[in-house]
Chain A
Amino acid sequence: MEDAAIIGLYWARDEEAIAASDRKYGKLCRSLSRDILDSREDAEECVNDTWQKAWNTMPPQRPNSLRAYLAKITRNLSIDRWRAGRAEKRGNGLTILLDELEEALPAPSAEELTEARETARTIERWLDTISPADRIAFLQRYWYGQRVDMVAKQAGCSSNSMVKRLGRLRDGLRRALEQEGINV
C-alpha cells in the first residue's frame, strides 16, 4: 500500500492504518530501535509506541514521507527509552554509537550554543556538501544506527574501508561544526 493511502487510513481513523504501517515499515523501525537499545523486547515496545504516537498525531500531521516520519518517532522514543534505562543498565547499542560520535565534537568554545535545531541545520548543510554515497553511509550509521558491516554491505565495500570512511566523515563534520562555532 502506498504511503498516501496509509496516511489516508490514519485520517479516516481506520485501524488498518497501524497494520499497514507495521507491514510496510515495522521491520525498519524494529531494526532501528534494536540498534539503539540493543534489546529486542525494548525495541518491540518502542515500535508499538510508534504506532500509538502515529495514531495520535495523524491527523493533524500529514507527513511528506511516512517512512521518515515513523522512523523519526521510533528513533526519538528509542533515545528516550535508552536514557530512562541507562541508570540501571547501560545499553551497548547507543553507547558505542556515541563513543564514535565523540570524535566529531569540536573543542568547547566560550559560547554555549546548544540548540539542537541549530546544530541540525549545520549538520544538514554539511550533509549537502558531501557525496550522496557518503551521506547515506553516515546517516545509516548515525541516524538509523546500523552496524558498520551492514552499512558497508549496502555500500558495496568492506567493513574496514567503511570504518575509515566513517572516520573521515566524522572529521569533516567536526570541522563543519567548528567553522559554524557550534559547541554541542
Chain B
Amino acid sequence: MSERSERLFEALGEIDEGKIDEAAPAEKRVVHWKRWTALAAAFVLVIGAGSYVLPRLGGNAGSAGAGGAGAGSDGASTFMSYAGPVFPLTLREADSAILAEREITLDFAPWIPVWWSNEEEANRDGYTPEQRQETLDMYNEWYPEGGRWKSSTDIRVADAYTLTNTSNEDKTVSVLYPFAGMLNDLENIRPTLTAGGQELETTLYAGQYSGGFQGAWEGWPNRKDNPGSVNLDQPNSWEDFRDRLEDGDYLRSALGEWADLSGVPVTVYQFTDPWGPEPDEEAGVPNPTIRVYFDLDYDRTEVLSYGFNGGSYDRENGRQGKSFSIPRDFWPERSKFPKYLIVLGNDIRNITAQGCVTGGWDDEKTLEAGVTIQRYESNLEDILYTVAQYALREEKDFDLSYGIWKDWLLSYGVLADDPMERYRWGDIEHMDVDIMSRVFYLEAQVTIPAGGSVQLSAEMTKEGSYDFACAHTENRGIYGYDMVTKLGSNLICTGQTAVLEDRGQIRIIRQNFGFDLENGVKQVTLDPSQEHYYLEIKGREDRFGK
C-alpha cells in the first residue's frame, strides 16, 4: 500500500455521478417486484437448473391480526375489512416549483337514510310478473309499513388541491392520483378528476397486490401463528400500504410496461369436444368426467392448466393428472370453452385421456368417453392471451385485466420464483386478481400558468373499514375512514385542511383529526408531520327514527 494507491482511490471519487448511481449496491436484500419488458428467453434452461429468474414477491405486507379496536400505533383501529386510506396527489416528475394546498372533505351524505319502498324492491329488472308479485308479498310481510329506511356506509370524498406554479413559465405537469381498492369494484371507487371544474381525461394504471399471504386459519387472527401462503392476507392498516409505497418502487412498477412473455417457449395441449354419457345416479355414473394423465419430470417441467376441475399430483413417480366434468347442454358457457395444459420446460410424456364415472381420483370405474387433444408449440404470451379471451371475457378493461393477470401469474402463481401455496397446482383461472387489494393511479395532464394556480379535485366514493358483525368484536357497528398526508407523494404541500360534513348522521368514536361535533368544529388544519389521520364513527341511533 502506498500514497499512490490512496490517491487513485481518491481520484475515483471524482467520477461521473451516473456511474456511481449505476453501481449503487442493492439497499435491500429482498428483490423488489417490478414489471419486465422482457423475460429471459432461456426459460427452459432456467427451469432445468431448478430455479427461476422470474420475479419474487417484494416485501412483506403482512400485518398483525385484525379486529383491534384502537390497537394501531397511532390509536386507530385495525379493521377486519380495511378499505385503505385516501392518498395524496403526486406528480409523475417531482417539481419543486409546484406548491400545493390540500383540502379534503369527508362527506357523510350517503349515510342519510332514504326510504326504499317494497314496490321498488320488487320492481327489479329481470323479474317475471309472478316473481315480482311473490317478492312484493314477501317484502310486504317483512315491512308492513310499505318499505324501510336504508342508508349506505360509504362516504363521498372530495380531495381538493390548489396547485401553484411559482416559476416564470407555464408548466404542464402529469398528475397521478392514487386510490386503493380492488379490480372488481373499480367502477364504484374510481375517482373523477377535475381541474377548474372541468373533468380531466385520465389514464388508469394498476399497482400490484398490496397485501401478502398467510397460512390456514389455525391460530387466527394472529398471523404469526399462521405461517404459509394458502390464504390472502389483505392489508389491514395504513402501515401495510406505507411499506409498499414508501420507496417509490411500487409506483414505478405500476407505471411500467407489462411483462412480455413472447420469449418463453411452451408446448400447448388443447382439449375440445369432450363427449360421454349423461349422468345417471342409479347406474352409478353421477358425474361423467374426463381424466387426463401424463408423465413429467417435476424438476424440469411446470404445467399450467385452464378449464380443469381437479388434479392429482404424484411427484415421487413423476405422474400428474387433471380432470374435468363433461359439460352438459344446459351448463354455463364457460364450462364448454376449450381446456388447456401449458407446458414450460421439458414436455410431458405419455398423455392419456380416460372417461370416469366421477371426478374423484380414488374412484377407478371407467366409462366410454373422449376428448379431442391437439398438441402444438407456442410461446407463453400467445397462449396466455388466447386463454385470457376466455378467462377475462367479462372484464370491462381487458388490457388492464390481462396485464394484472400476467403479473399475478409471475409474482405469485406457478411462474413466480417462490409461488404461493394457494396457486401451486398450476390452475390459472383463479381470479384472485379481482379481489386483491391494490393501489390504482389515475394520470392526467394539467397546465398551470406561470405564477398562477389551478384548482384540482378528486372526487370519489369511499367505502368504510369495518369488523365483520359476526365476529362480535368491540368495533361492531363502527366504520373507519382514514387518509395519509404525504405517503407516496412528491408534491410540496404547504398546508392541509380537513372538513367533516357529518350531515347529522354520526357519532365520533375515535379520531386524531380534532373534529368536535358538539362544539361545531368541523374544519381542522392538519399537521404535515402527522402522516396518518383517521376517523372512526358509528351511525347515530336516532337517524332512522323518522
Q: Mark B1-23, 1 if CB is under 8 A from A, else 0.
A: 11011111111111111111111
**Cα-based distance from A142 to B93 in the complex (angstroms):** 32
User: Given A98-B9, A142-B9, are A120 and B96 neighbors across the interface (CB < 8 Å)?
Assistant: no
Verify if A117 is at the interface (C-beta below 8 Å from B).
yes
Task: Give B53's nearest chain A residue, CB to CB.
Answer: A156
Find out whether the CB atom of A16 lies under 8 angstroms from the CB atom of B529: yes
Verify if B247 is at the interface (C-beta below 8 Å from A).
yes
Verify if A3 is at the interface (C-beta below 8 Å from B).
yes
B242 CB to closest chain A CB, in angstroms? Answer: 11
Find out whether the CB atom of A65 lies under 8 angstroms from the CB atom of B21: yes
Find out whether the CB atom of B15 lies under 8 angstroms from the CB atom of A5: no
Q: Which residues of A contact B19 (CB under 8 A)?
A: 124, 127, 135, 139
Report the stretch among B24-32, B110-118, B134-142 that lies at the interface: B24-32
Within 8 A of A (CB), among B483-511: 486, 489-492
Verify if B95 is at the interface (C-beta below 8 Å from A).
yes
**Cα-based distance from A16 to B529 in the complex (angstroms):** 9
**Cα-based distance from A124 to B248 in the complex (angstroms):** 30
Q: Which residues of A contact B21 (CB under 8 A)?
A: 65, 67-68
Find out whether the CB atom of B96 lies under 8 angstroms from the CB atom of A65: no
User: Given A105-B4, A139-B19, are A4 and B25 neighbors across the interface (CB < 8 Å)?
Assistant: no
Q: Which residues of A contact B93 (CB under 8 A)?
A: 4
Choice from A69, A97, A135 contacting B23 with Cβ under 8 Å: A135
Find out whether the CB atom of A135 lies under 8 angstroms from the CB atom of B22: yes
Task: Give B23's nearest chain A residue, CB to CB.
Answer: A139
The winner among A2, A16, A124 for most chain B CB atoms within 10 A is A2
Find out whether the CB atom of B11 lies under 8 angstroms from the CB atom of A120: yes
Task: Give A25's nearest chain B residue, CB to CB.
Answer: B27
Find out whether the CB atom of A12 lies under 8 angstroms from the CB atom of B25: no
Within 8 A of A (CB), among B455-495: 486, 489-492
Find out whether the CB atom of B1 lies under 8 angstroms from the CB atom of A104: no
Verify if B94 is at the interface (C-beta below 8 Å from A).
yes
Verify if A79 is at the interface (C-beta below 8 Å from B).
yes
**Cα-based distance from A139 to B96 in the complex (angstroms):** 31
Q: Which residues of B contact A139 (CB under 8 A)?
A: 12, 15, 19-20, 22-23
Find out whether the CB atom of B20 lies under 8 angstroms from the CB atom of A72: yes
Q: Mark A59-72, 1 if CB is under 8 A from B, else 0.
A: 00001110111011
Within 8 A of A (CB), among B217-264: 246-248
Find out whether the CB atom of A101 lies under 8 angstroms from the CB atom of B5: yes
Find out whether the CB atom of B8 lies under 8 angstroms from the CB atom of A143: no
Find out whether the CB atom of A140 lies under 8 angstroms from the CB atom of B25: yes
Find out whether the CB atom of B9 lies under 8 angstroms from the CB atom of A124: no
B512 CB to closest chain A CB, in angstroms? Answer: 20
The winner among B15, B23, B93 for most chain A CB atoms within 10 A is B23
Find out whether the CB atom of B529 lies under 8 angstroms from the CB atom of A24: no
Task: Give A102's nearest chain B residue, CB to CB.
Answer: B5
A9 CB to closest chain B CB, in angstroms? Answer: 8
Find out whether the CB atom of B13 lies under 8 angstroms from the CB atom of A76: yes
Within 8 A of B (CB), among A73-128: 75-76, 79, 94-95, 97-99, 101-102, 104-105, 114, 116-117, 119-120, 123-124, 127
Verify if A31 is at the interface (C-beta below 8 Å from B).
yes
Q: Which residues of A contact B1 (CB under 8 A)?
A: 95, 98-99, 102
Verify if A167 is at the interface (C-beta below 8 Å from B).
no
Interface residues on A, range: 35 or more
Task: Give A120's nearest chain B residue, CB to CB.
Answer: B14
Task: Give A142's nearest chain B residue, CB to CB.
Answer: B12
Find out whether the CB atom of A184 lies under 8 angstroms from the CB atom of B8: yes
Find out whether the CB atom of B9 lies under 8 angstroms from the CB atom of A2: no
**Cα-based distance from A140 to B14 in the complex (angstroms):** 15
Find out whether the CB atom of A28 lies under 8 angstroms from the CB atom of B25: yes
Q: Mark A17-35, 1 if CB is under 8 A from B, else 0.
A: 0000000100110010000
Find out whether the CB atom of B94 lies under 8 angstroms from the CB atom of A123: no
Verify if A148 is at the interface (C-beta below 8 Å from B).
no
Verify if A7 is at the interface (C-beta below 8 Å from B).
yes
Find out whether the CB atom of B11 lies under 8 angstroms from the CB atom of A184: yes
Task: Give B2's nearest chain A residue, CB to CB.
Answer: A102
Find out whether the CB atom of B5 lies under 8 angstroms from the CB atom of A99: yes
Find out whether the CB atom of B9 lies under 8 angstroms from the CB atom of A94: yes
Verify if A144 is at the interface (C-beta below 8 Å from B).
yes
Find out whether the CB atom of B18 lies under 8 angstroms from the CB atom of A65: yes
Q: Which residues of A contact B17 (CB under 8 A)?
A: 63-65, 68-69, 72
Find out whether the CB atom of B10 lies under 8 angstroms from the CB atom of A79: yes
Verify if A150 is at the interface (C-beta below 8 Å from B).
yes
B174 CB to closest chain A CB, in angstroms? Answer: 14
User: Given A99-B1, A102-B1, A146-B25, are A4 and B490 neighbors across the interface (CB < 8 Å)?
Assistant: yes
Verify if A8 is at the interface (C-beta below 8 Å from B).
yes
Find out whether the CB atom of B12 lies under 8 angstroms from the CB atom of A123: yes
User: Given A4-B490, A119-B8, are A79 and B13 neighbors across the interface (CB < 8 Å)?
Assistant: yes
Q: Which residues of A contact B6 (CB under 8 A)?
A: 94, 98
B-to-A contact residues, CB < 8 Å: 1-2, 4-27, 93-96, 246-248, 486, 489-492, 529
19 contacts across the A-B interface (CB closer than 8 A): A2-B490, A4-B95, A5-B491, A8-B96, A12-B492, A28-B25, A68-B21, A72-B17, A116-B13, A124-B15, A132-B22, A136-B22, A136-B23, A139-B15, A139-B22, A139-B23, A140-B25, A143-B12, A150-B25
A-to-B contact residues, CB < 8 Å: 1-5, 7-9, 11-12, 16, 24, 27-28, 31, 63-65, 67-69, 71-72, 75-76, 79, 94-95, 97-99, 101-102, 104-105, 114, 116-117, 119-120, 123-124, 127, 132, 135-136, 138-140, 142-144, 146, 150, 154, 184
Q: Which 10 A-B pairs have the closest CB atoms?
A: A4-B94, A120-B14, A139-B23, A68-B17, A8-B96, A5-B490, A119-B11, A68-B20, A101-B5, A116-B11
User: A8-B96, A184-B4 are known contacts; what are 8 more A-B pairs with Cβ within 8 Å?
Assistant: A1-B246, A8-B492, A28-B27, A67-B24, A68-B18, A119-B8, A138-B23, A143-B13
